Structure 1
């Protein structure tokens, strides 16, 4: 589907490990992001085991594709929430690649820059020792915009940019696999690498600080209290 609807500008495939388990971490701004990342990794000969938020499985076309690809839904704030990480560790132990969107949901940044991510990717990396390959992508919003349910600009075949980078250096944190602060720092480094590559793809300067959804919500709550 993506080959027909978009044109590809992919780079950095040489950074994708040819064998062994690894974590592919990408930015998230369109519902078709998982398909784009999966397509990129399949082209490198490394089809991924994907951790995707459960709501994506109800999106037409995307949901059926994720199910067909034997992907794992992540049920947040439920008793099933930990099942996804267990499945991810098992896959990595078996030498399979894991794909994950560390932000956990579509970015809320007004200009679609990566926002502050959940610490899950850092935790997974430090508890398994698996390398993290950052992946930046841009262009999917021209095909399916944020929150959109119907594609647009199909006839224009927008360019889909995907760039993989070298493994993020987390070596100094590997001796702290159970430290939440280390998980947060590892995640920050992963997102910084993704953001830097995305800035290169977009030819623009990213915000000085990533959008913080929790902080923004607290600010909104304060404004409501003062109203």
Structure 2
């Protein structure tokens, strides 16, 4: 199923609290004037209950595209975001008010993002996670090796883990900067995959081996979905920054 999205405001799901309704009223119409979304297979996103959406990440516009898409599909998107964003005066307070969850970089430590996500899941909400943790280092913008947070959250809570891929946001803003292009309005293609079958690991301790194994499956599936959007075949192996002498944070 595919849908072209042009309306200003999405339908509201049961998990849209007062803060999200206010935020959506002011922000989503602006976002929809920058991006035109073509959403495929939106029926794969659960309409009730908790979920984890895991998406590819190749430009700083991604959260706008994916957040708008999740909202268009009737759910309130809550992101795991860099903690530094939530420390920005006023802006950070708004992000916290709509349920964004801070993630500290390893060097800083502290915080409990998965614990906060579990509280959201208990209320029937969902989170959007970028398993790569930063913009992909793959020079062709394919998904790279993922971190295990999305898998640990979904397995730990026993909830759907939904792979999502998108393509086209780089036309609005290239990775790591460049000229912002909002006229004409750019099209971003988004495909929602079926939730991963996590039944083989149900009830098992979420060990490092299990988390790595499922994360590999997740990233491969996201790459396959992005390949469908691009009309290309993704690389067999996910890009590993460590093997190419690249930093895990900041610019490569």
Range class of TM-score, shorter chain? 0.7 to 0.9
Cα distance in 2 for residues equivalent to 1:63 and 1:108 = 27
For 1:203, the equivalent position in structure 2 comes to 231
Cα distance in 2 for residues equivalent to 1:114 and 1:7 = 22
1:3 aligns with 2:53: no
Report how far residue 57 of structure 1 moved. Answer: 5.0
Cα distance in 2 for residues equivalent to 1:106 and 1:55 = 16
For residue 172 of structure 2, the aligned residue among 143, 146, 161 is: 143
1:153 aligns with 2:181: yes
Cα distance in 2 for residues equivalent to 1:39 and 1:158 = 14
For 1:182, the equivalent position in structure 2 comes to 210
Cα distance in 1 for residues equivalent to 2:199 and 2:52 = 15
Does the 8 A contact of 2:37 with 2:65 survive in 1? no
Unaligned runs of 5+ in 2: 1-29, 247-252
Cα distance in 2 for residues equivalent to 1:105 and 1:57 = 17
For 1:110, the equivalent position in structure 2 comes to 139
Cα distance in 1 for residues equivalent to 2:96 and 2:167 = 24
> Match of 2:162, SS?
strand
How many aligned positions are there? 216
Does the 8 A contact of 2:166 with 2:189 survive in 1? yes
Deviations 1:201-225 (A, max 9, x none): 011111121101122228xxxxxxx
Higher relative contact order (CA 8 A, sep 6+): 1
Does the 8 A contact of 1:114 with 1:195 survive in 2? yes
Aligned-pair Cα RMSD in Å: 2.3
